[in-house]
Amino acid sequence: MKTRITEMLGIRHPIVQGGMHYVGFAEMAAAVSNAGGLGVITGLTQGTPDKLRAEIEKCRGLTNKPFGVNLTFLPAVTPPDYPGLVQVIIESGVKVVETAGNNPQKYLPALKDAGIKVIHKCTSVRHALKAEAIGCDAVSVDGFECGGHPGEDDVANFILLPRAGEELKVPFLASGGMADGRSLVAALAMGADGMNMGTRFIATKEAPVHENVKQALVAASELDTRLIMRPLRNTERVLNNAGVERLLEKERTLGDKLTFNDIAPEVAGVYPRIMRDGEMDAGGWSCGQVAGLIHDIPSVQELIDRIMKQANDIIRQRLVGLLDD
């Protein structure tokens, strides 16, 4: 399938793996790239430039296909070494960077000078237009149903994607609610050039997470996510568990007096405990409503092959068959 995204990124299928904390390791990225999509290493999971360099080299040993690095720019009292991480990405010859969080404009000149394609993740049309204006090569448009941070506008992809298609000139990916061939065809119909898939990739054989996490996704329905940190205007969609229920009770009890310190036990440092150790009630971890469409744990190759077959069948058989000649 040829789209502006496959042409830009040099990939076979218009499927990009989202940069997920404690999921986007070399094994995950290489598996997606080898299956014809674009795998993505999560930069902040590595934390330091030296560790990121090692992970990139590890990924390069597992695939000869293109892969990218996610770099999320967070407001922090003591921020990560962003200049060092950017320099490692450039020196390592990575050709695609997915940025998220704060405006990446400060780092765009260096990335662009190195011939790197930059895809910025946005949760609104106005942010997508800003990303286009500062020189991002593409954007990933995140609907309200997505796992992680959906922004504060609460606009789902059935509206957000067509609106992005009306306004943007650069290619864009549909992100949030993407799970199968139906998702891909719908995204293309609404103007996107491909899809960014996160939660669905966690429930694969190669995903380097605890089996408890994968089984939790298979067991979950579309009703099992919750929105946390809304009072702090840092909304995150997570899979419900006992830790999340504790957090939500604090939000209800404290109201507008809530501070981050109040909920820190349920959000700070919980990813290693959940993703690595399988402590499923430790706290909040990003998960989309798409969990309701996850029913098995295939290999990444099986999953992408299935997505592309289903997408082609829908286009060739169902949609063309609906036309009244």
Structure confidence by residue, pLDDT tens digits, 296-316: 999 999 999 999 999 999 999
Helix (H/G/I), strand (E/B), else coil: 186: helix
> Does 325 have pLDDT greater than 80?
no
- pLDDT given at position 77: 73
Lowest mean pLDDT among 40-54, 67-81, 261-275: 67-81
Burial class (CB in 10 A: 0-12, 13-18, 19+), 112: middle
Q: What architecture is domain 4-204?
A: Alpha-Beta Barrel (3.20)
CA distances from 216 to 107, 197, 240, 283 (A): 38, 18, 10, 14
pLDDT band at 70 (very low <50, low <70, confident <90, very high): very high
User: In 3D, which of 87, 90, 96 has the Cα closest to residue 65?
Assistant: 96
In the predicted model, is pLDDT for residue 256 greater than 90?
yes
What is the percentage of the chain residues whose pLDDT exceeds 70?
A: 100
CB atoms within 10 A of CB 48: 14
pLDDT band for 140, please (50, 70, 90 cuts).
very high
| Rounded-to-integer distance, Cα 32 and Cα 12, Å | 11
Do residues 192 and 178 lie in contact, with contact meaning Cβ atoms separated by under 8 Å? no
CA distances for 312 relative to 32, 177, 319, angstroms: 19, 19, 10
Give the model's confidence band at 324: pLDDT under 50 very low, under 70 low, under 90 confident, else very high. Answer: confident
Neighbours of 299 (CB within 10 A): 13
Q: Which residue has the tokens 């940190």?
A: 229
Closest CA to 204 of 17, 1, 14: 17
Whether the predicted pLDDT of 255 surpasses 90: yes
Per-residue pLDDT of 165-207, as tens digits, reads 999 999 999 999 999 999 999 999 999 999 999 999 999 999 9
Mean pLDDT of 78-94: 96
Inform me whether the pLDDT recorded for 257 exceeds 80.
yes
Which pLDDT band holds residue 76 (cuts at 50, 70, 90)?
A: confident
Answer for the pair 72, 44: CB distance below 8 angstroms, yes or no: yes
Q: How far is CA 10 from CA 51, 99, 214, in A?
A: 26, 19, 30
